[in-house]
C-alpha cells in the first residue's frame, strides 16, 4: 500500500450541528477512515463557548484539548488542519486569518464568509502554501464542490440551477402537498425547529443567494458579489398559485439560477414555475439539488440533503480526508477555484434583460372590465397574452385569477406590473413569476 | 497564482467516440484548461489503427506524433500521461502494463478491464508511483468516481442503486412511452446506431454488470468479481408489464443494485418494479443515474448522460487535469480505491437470501381453476398472495395476468416459479420481478 505516512491532527472549532456531526463520524469511523487514507485522522483539540457542557463522543481521546478559546486550537502545534465550523463572518474570519498566519490548512462550512470573501481568502491560502476546502458550505449533503473541482472540471459550464434552501423548499412542497397557507406551515416549521425564529434568511432568499454566489463563482471561475444577485422570497406564494401552476403542467420552486448569456452572467434567486416533469420538480421537503448544463457534457444533476449534522458532517470529514492527503503529499493549493482571472470581476447582467413567459396572478375587487384593462396595459407594452385562468371562487370579492403571457422582456413585464399596481380594483400588487423551461 | 509549473504532455490511444471527444475538448478548450490548472495540457501523440483517415481537430499542433503503433506513444519521452481509450481487455491491458512499466500515468475509460483486473492494476500503479484515473469507465457523463473518491469519502456507504446501461433504459422508457414491443424498439435503435448489431451486452445486462462491479468495488472497498453478480436482462419485458406496473403505482427499470446486508454484500442487475415517484423512475432515455445511501449522509443521487463522445470526453479530460496536477505536485497514488483489504475478498451473498414482494406475470391458455392452482403452489411455499390483476384481454388465449405476492424469500419464489413452469396451461414460464422499495 505504499509508504507509511504520519497521522494528521485536526482542531475542530464550533460544536453546533456541523461540529458535533463531524466529531461523531471522526470517532465512530476512525478505523475506516484510516483504511481509506493509509494513515489516521486524529482530533487534537475541540473548541466551543460551551465546551464544558457539550456532550462529546465517547471515542474522543482523553488527550484532546477542550477549550473555549479558539486561539489555543490554532496555536496547538499538533494541529495541522483547523475545521472552522462556527459560521458567520466575524469570529470565523479571525479564525481563518489566524490559521493562515500559523500555516495551518483549513476546512470550512461557512457559506456567508466564502461567498463574501472566498476569492481573497483563497489567494492568501495559496501564498501561505496551505490547503483549503469548503464542501460543506453549499448543499451540505451534495458533494457539489468535488464535482465542480474535479468530476467535471474538463467541461465549460454554461448554466446551473439549484434548490439550495431546504427550509423554503420544505414550505413550498408542504404547501403543494397539503394546501396549507404559508404562515401556518412556517409557524409549524418553527415549532418543530426546522425554521429559525427569524425566518428572513431562509424564506426571503438570502441564504440561497450566498450559496448561489459561491456555486456560480466556482462553476464560472468569476468573482461574484452576492449583493449583485437579484433575490425574491416565497412569502407571497399561496396554495392557489400551486393550483394554477398544476393546471399549466407546472409547479413552483425557489430556483437559484446562473447562466451565461451573450451579455454576461445572469444570476437570480426567485420563485419560478417549472414543468412538473422537470427533474428539479422532483426535489421535495428539505432536500437540495443542483442541475448543471455543460457545453460538452450536457445535463448532470445532483441531489441530497441540504443540511443536518450527519450529511454536513460527511462533507467536512471528506474535506478533512482530502486536505490531510494533500498535506501528506506536500501538495498545497496552487490555483484558486474562485477566479481564473481571465476577465477580472464579472459584469452582472440585470435579469430585466431576459425574455421569459410569465405567470401573473391578480387578487381583485370584482367588477366588469378588469380583464380588458389589464390586457390593455400588456398590449401597450407589446406583451402577448397567452391565457386567462380562473379557478372556481371560494369567497366573494377575493377572486385570484391568472394571466399567462408569451415570452416577453422582463423589463416590459415589470413596467406593466408597476402600472397595474396603481389600479384601484387590485387588492394587492400582481404576483409575477417567470415560467422556466424544462431543465 | 503560485509558482509556474511545466506543461504536461498526453498521449491519446484510441480515436473512436471517446478518443475523438477527448481530443476535441483538449484542443478547443486549451486556454480554459490552462487557466484552471495553472499550466498547459498538451497532446504529444495520438494513436489509432486508422490514424491516417481519422479527422483530427484543427487546433492539434503539427508536432503531434500520429501513429498506428501504441508502443510509440507509450515510449514517447514527452508523454507523461497515457489515455487508454481503446476498450476491451486484450490490447488495453498491454497498453496499461507497458505504461506502468514506463512509469507513465494512466487515464482509462475501460470498464471491462477495470472491473476484471482493477485491483491488481491499481496495486501495480501504486508500486510504480504513478497516477491512475478512470472516471469515464462508469456512467460517462456522471462524475461518480470523484463523488465516491472525494465528495462523500467520509461516509460509510450502505447501499447503491443505479441505471447504468443507456441502451436498455432507452428501450424500457420508449416501451413505456409508446407501448411498442421490445423487438421493434431494438430494431429501430439498431437502425439509428443507438444499439449494437449484437445487443447482448446491453439488453442482457452484462455491460451494466461490469459497471456495477466497478462502482460497488469503489463504494464498498471490496474486490468484486463481475461473474459473481446475478444478472437478468430485459428481453422478456412487454408493454403490458408497464400497464400492470402503472396500475400498481410503479414502473420498470433495469436496476443495478448493491447493498450491505447482515450476511454480506448483495449484488444484482435485473429488471425490477420501482415506485413511479422514486427519483430513479425519473431517469428516461439514454441517461444514467446512481443513487447512493450513506450511513451518515443518507440519500444522494447523481444523474447524467451515460455515454457519447462529449460527456465521456469531459470525464477523460477531467481525469487528465487531475492526474496532471498530481504529477506536477509529485503526488503518486498511495491507497487503492478498490480494496481496503480489511476483509480480503468479499463473500458474495446469493440474492435468493433476500425478502421482497414480487410481481409474477403469467401468459396462459384460459381454463377454469388456473388461479386456484397457482395460489396453491404459492401457499405451499408459505408465500402470501397480495393481489391478482387482469387488464382487459386483447386476444383470445393470450391473457397475461399478474399475481403480486407479499414480501417473501426469493428462494421460495424461485422454487414456486420453477414448479409453475411445468404446468401445462402456461404458454411460457412466469416472469418474476422483485418490487423494490422507494429509493
Q: Per-domain residue ranges for chain A? A: 8-141+309-328, 145-305, 354-434
Q: Does residue B284 carry a pLDDT above 70?
A: yes
**Three-class secondary structure of residue A266 per DSSP:** strand
User: Cβ contacts (< 8 Å) between A139 and chain B: which residues?
Assistant: none
Across A287-297, average pLDDT: 94
Distance between A53 CA and the closest CA of chain B, angstroms: 24
Same fold, B8-141+309-328 and B354-434: no
How many Å apart are CA B148 and CA A36, to the nearest integer? 11
- B377 contact partners, CB below 8 Å, separation of at least 6: B416, B419, B420
Q: Yes or no: say if B331 and A329 are a contact pair by the CB < 8 Å rule.
A: yes
A102-130 pLDDT tens trace: 999 999 999 999 999 999 999 999 999 99
Strand A250-261 relative to strand A264-275: parallel, antiparallel, unpaired?
antiparallel
| Burial (CB count within 10 angstroms: exposed 0-12, middle 13-18, buried 19+), residue B178 | exposed
The DSSP code for A102 is T
Q: Determine how β-strand A401-409 pairs with β-strand B41-47.
A: unpaired
Q: Please give the average per-residue pLDDT across A165-186, as a whole number.
A: 97
Contact between A151 and B143 using a beta-carbon 8 Å cutoff: yes
SS3 B125: helix
Over residues A77-100, mean pLDDT: 97
Using one digit for the tens of pLDDT, what is the confidence trace for B307-357? 889 999 999 999 999 999 999 988 888 888 876 555 445 677 888 889 999
Nearest CB to A299: which of B154, B304, B331? B304
- With left for phi above 0 and alpha for psi between -120 and 50, is residue B147 left, alpha or beta? alpha
The CB density around residue B207, as the number of other CB atoms within 10 Å, is 22
- Measured in degrees and rounded to the nearest 5, phi and psi for residue B432 equal -115, 120
The span from the first CA to the last CA of chain B, in angstroms, equals 44
Label residue A293 by pLDDT band (50, 70, 90): very high
Q: How far apart are the first and last CA of chain A?
A: 44
Average pLDDT over chain A reads: 92
Helix (H) / strand (E) element for B26: namely: helix B17-28
Each residue's pLDDT tens digit, B50-84: 999 988 998 888 899 999 999 999 999 999 999 99
Contact residues on chain A for B3, CB-CB shorter than 8 A: 334
Look up residue B96 and give its three cell numbers.
496499461
* Pairing state between β A79-84 and A8-13: parallel
Q: Is the pLDDT of residue A211 over 60?
A: yes
Can you give the pLDDT at residue B397? Answer: 52
Average pLDDT over residues A386-401: 77
- Residue B332 has a pLDDT of 86
Residue numbers in B near A340 (CB within 8 A): 32, 35-36
Taking the CA of residue A372 and the nearest CA in chain B, the distance in Å comes to 42
CB within 8 Å: A151 and B135: yes
What is residue A2's predicted lDDT score, i.e. its pLDDT? 46
Domain A8-141+309-328: CATH class, spelled out = alpha beta
DSSP state at residue A285? T
B426 touches chain A (CB under 8 A): no
Query: How far is residue A197's CA from residue A44's CA, in Å, rounded to a whole number?
Result: 35
Task: State the pLDDT confidence band at A343, using cuts at 50, 70 and 90.
Answer: very low
pLDDT for the residue numbered A336: 84
Q: Does A293 touch chain B (CB under 8 A)?
A: no
Cβ distance B159 to B260 under 8 Å? Answer: yes
User: What's the order of all strands across the beta sheet hosting B250-261?
Assistant: A230-231, A264-275, A250-261, A157-163, A287-294, A298-305, B298-305, B287-294, B157-163, B250-261, B264-275, B230-231
Question: Is the pLDDT confidence value at B113 over 80?
Answer: yes
> Which residues of B form the catalytic set?
211
Nearest-CB residue to B156 (from A32, A147, A322)? A32
Q: Going by DSSP bridges, is the β-strand pair A8-13/A41-47 parallel, antiparallel, or unpaired?
A: parallel
Identify whether the C-beta of residue B293 lies closer than 8 Å to the C-beta of residue B159.
Answer: yes
More confident residue, B341 or B389: B389
Query: Is A6 within 8 Å of chain B by CB?
Result: no
Residues 140-179 on B with a CB inside 8 Å of A are 141-147, 150-156
The β-bridge partners of A359 are A404, A433
Contact B21 A296 (CB under 8 A): yes
Q: Does A36 touch chain B (CB under 8 A)?
A: yes
Place of cell 483539540: A45
How far apart CA A133 and CA A143 sit, in angstroms, is 12
Q: How many CB atoms lie within 10 A of CB A89?
A: 13
Task: Assign A1 a pLDDT band (cuts: 50, 70, 90).
Answer: very low
Beta strands in A306-400 (DSSP E): 355-362, 385-389
Residue A325 has pLDDT above 90, yes or no: yes
SS3 label, residue A313: helix
Q: All 3 cell numbers of residue B389?
A: 390483476
ipTM of the assembly? 0.91
Length of chain B, in residues: 439
Average pLDDT over residues B168-194: 95
- Among residues A111, A127, A129, A211, the one annotated as catalytic is A211
CATH class of B354-434: alpha beta
pTM (2 decimals)?
A: 0.93
In whole angstroms, what is the distance from residue B438 CA to residue B159 CA? 13
pLDDT value at residue B413: 97
Residue A331 touches chain B, beta carbons under 8 Å: yes
Distance of CA A96 to the CA centre of its chain: 22
pLDDT at B136 over 80: yes
C-alpha cell of residue A79: 494541529
Confidence of residue B396 (pLDDT cuts 50, 70, 90): low
Q: 3-class DSSP state for residue A409? A: strand
Q: Which residues from chain B sit within 8 angstroms of residue A329, using beta carbons?
A: 329-331, 334
**What residues contact residue B420 under an 8 Å CB cut-off, 6+ apart?**
B362, B374, B377, B426, B429, B430
Contact criterion met (CB < 8 Å) for A151 and B156: no
A285 interfaces chain B, CB cutoff of 8 Å:
no
A145-305: CATH topology is Dihydrodipicolinate Reductase; domain 2 (3.30.360)
Q: Is pLDDT at A394 greater than 70 in this prediction?
A: no
CA distance A317 to chain B (A): 5
Is there a contact between B224 and B192 (Cβ–Cβ < 8 Å)?
A: no
Record the cell numbers describing residue A232, joined without a space: 425574491
Q: How much of chain B, in percent, has pLDDT values that exceed 70?
A: 96
On the CB side of A270, CA atoms within 13 Å amount to 18
- A298–chain B nearest CA distance, Å: 7
Contacts with A156 from chain B: Cβ below 8 Å: 29, 32
Higher per-residue confidence, B190 vs B397: B190
Which pLDDT does position A255 carry in this prediction? 98
Strands B250-261 and B157-163: antiparallel
Q: CB–CB of B313 and A154 under 8 A? A: yes
Mean pLDDT over residues B197-203, rounded? 95
pLDDT in tens, A21-69: 999 999 999 999 998 898 999 999 999 999 999 889 988 888 999 999 9
Calpha distance B22→B85 (Å, rounded): 10
Give exposure, A190-223, as e/b (b: 16+ Cβ within 10 Å).
eeeebbeeebebbbbbbbbbbbbbbbbbbbbbbb
**Of residues B2, B155, B322, nearest to A334 (C-beta):** B2
pLDDT, mean of residues A244-249: 96
The C-alpha of A309 sits at a distance from chain B's nearest C-alpha, in angstroms, of 9
pLDDT at B279: 87
Residue B303, chain A, CB below 8 Å: the answer is yes
Taking the Cβ of residue A316 and every Cβ of chain B, the question of whether any pair is shorter than 8 Å is answered with yes
Distance CA B336, CA B121 (A): 10
Task: Count Cβ–Cβ pairs < 8 Å, chain A vs chain B.
Answer: 224
**CATH number, span B151-305:** 3.30.360.10
pLDDT in tens, B78-110: 999 999 999 999 999 999 999 999 999 999 999
**d(Cα A346, Cα A222) in Å, to the nearest integer?**
6
All residues of chain B having their beta carbon less than 8 Å from the beta carbon of residue A21 are 296
Contact call for A150 and B1, based on CB within 8 A:
no
Separation in Å, CA of A197 to nearest CA in chain B:
26
| A407 pLDDT above the threshold of 60 | yes
Report yes or no: A334 at the B interface, CB cutoff 8 Å.
Answer: yes
| DSSP symbols for B142-205 | S-HHHIIIIITTTS-EEEEEEE--HHHHHHHHHHHHH---HHHHHHHHHHTTSS-SS-HHHHTS
B37 neighbourhood in chain A, CB within 8 Å:
335
Contact list, B342 vs chain A (CB under 8 Å) = 35
Contact A152 B299 (CB under 8 A): no
pLDDT score at A339: 64
User: Is pLDDT of A373 > 90?
Assistant: yes
Lookup: cell for B394: 386483447
The verdict on whether A263 is a catalytic residue reads no
Chain A residues close to B331, C-beta within 8 Å: 326, 329-331
Report which of residues B3 and A420 the model is more confident about.
A420
pLDDT of residue B343: 45
d(CA A321, CA A310): 16
- Output the CA torsion sign for B197, B203, B204, B205: positive
Amino acid at each position: 500500500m505504499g509508504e507509511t505516512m504520519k497521522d494528521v491532527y485536526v482542531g475542530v472549532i464550533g460544536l453546533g450541528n456541523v461540529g458535533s456531526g463531524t466529531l461523531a463520524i471522526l470517532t465512530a469511523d476512525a478505523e475506516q477512515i484510516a483504511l481509506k487514507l493509509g494513515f489516521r485522522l486524529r482530533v487534537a483539540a475541540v473548541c466551543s463557548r460551551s465546551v464544558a457542557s457539550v456532550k462529546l463522543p465517547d471515542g474522543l481521546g482523553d488527550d484532546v484539548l477542550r477549550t473555549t478559546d479558539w486561539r489555543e486550537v490554532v496555536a496547538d502545534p499538533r494541529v495541522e488542519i483547523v475545521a472552522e465550523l462556527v459560521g458567520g463572518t466575524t469570529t470565523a474570519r479571525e479564525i481563518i486569518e489566524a490559521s493562515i498566519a500559523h500555516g495551518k490548512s483549513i476546512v470550512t462550512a461557512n457559506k456567508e464568509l466564502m461567498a463574501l470573501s472566498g476569492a481573497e481568502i483563497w489567494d492568501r491560502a495559496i501564498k501561505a502554501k496551505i490547503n483549503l476546502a469548503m464542501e460543506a458550505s453549499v448543499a451540505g449533503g451534495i458533494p457539489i464542490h468535488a464535482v465542480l473541482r474535479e468530476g467535471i472540471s474538463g467541461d465549460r459550464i454554461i448554466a446551473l440551477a439549484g434548490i439550495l434552501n431546504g427550509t423554503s423548499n420544505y414550505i413550498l412542497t408542504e404547501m403543494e402537498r397539503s394546501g396549507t397557507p404559508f404562515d401556518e406551515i412556517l409557524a409549524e416549521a418553527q415549532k418543530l425547529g426546522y425554521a429559525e425564529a427569524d425566518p428572513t434568511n431562509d424564506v426571503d432568499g438570502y441564504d440561497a443567494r450566498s450559496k448561489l454566489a459561491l456555486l456560480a463563482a466556482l462553476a464560472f471561475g468569476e468573482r461574484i458579489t452576492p449583493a449583485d444577485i437579484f433575490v425574491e422570497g416565497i412569502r407571497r406564494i399561496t396554495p392557489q398559485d400551486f393550483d394554477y401552476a398544476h393546471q399549466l403542467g407546472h409547479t413552483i420552486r425557489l430556483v437559484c439560477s446562473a447562466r451565461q448569456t451573450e451579455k454576461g452572467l445572469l444570476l437570480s434567486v426567485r420563485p419560478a414555475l417549472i414543468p412538473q416533469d422537470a427533474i428539479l420538480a422532483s426535489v421535495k421537503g428539505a432536500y437540495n439539488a443542483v442541475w448543471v448544463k455543460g457545453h460538452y457534457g450536457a445535463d448532470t444533476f445532483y441531489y441530497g440533503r441540504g443540511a443536518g449534522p450527519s450529511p454536513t458532517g460527511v462533507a467536512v470529514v471528506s474535506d478533512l480526508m482530502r486536505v490531510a492527503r494533500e498535506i501528506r503529499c506536500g501538495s498545497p493549493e496552487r490555483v484558486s477555484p474562485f477566479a481564473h482571472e481571465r476577465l477580472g470581476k464579472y459584469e452582472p447582467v440585470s435579469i430585466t434583460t431576459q425574455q421569459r413567459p410569465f405567470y401573473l396572478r391578480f387578487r381583485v375587487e370584482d367588477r366588469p372590465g378588469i380583464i380588458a384593462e389589464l390586457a390593455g396595459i400588456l398590449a401597450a407594452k407589446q406583451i402577448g397574452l397567452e391565457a386567462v385562468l380562473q379557478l372556481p371562487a371560494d369567497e366573494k370579492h377575493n377572486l385570484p385569477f391568472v394571466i399567462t403571457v408569451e415570452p416577453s422582456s422582463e423589463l416590459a413585464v415589470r413596467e406593466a406590473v408597476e402600472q397595474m399596481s396603481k389600479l384601484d380594483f387590485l387588492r394587492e400588487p400582481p404576483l409575477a413569476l417567470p415560467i422556466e423551461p424544462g431543465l
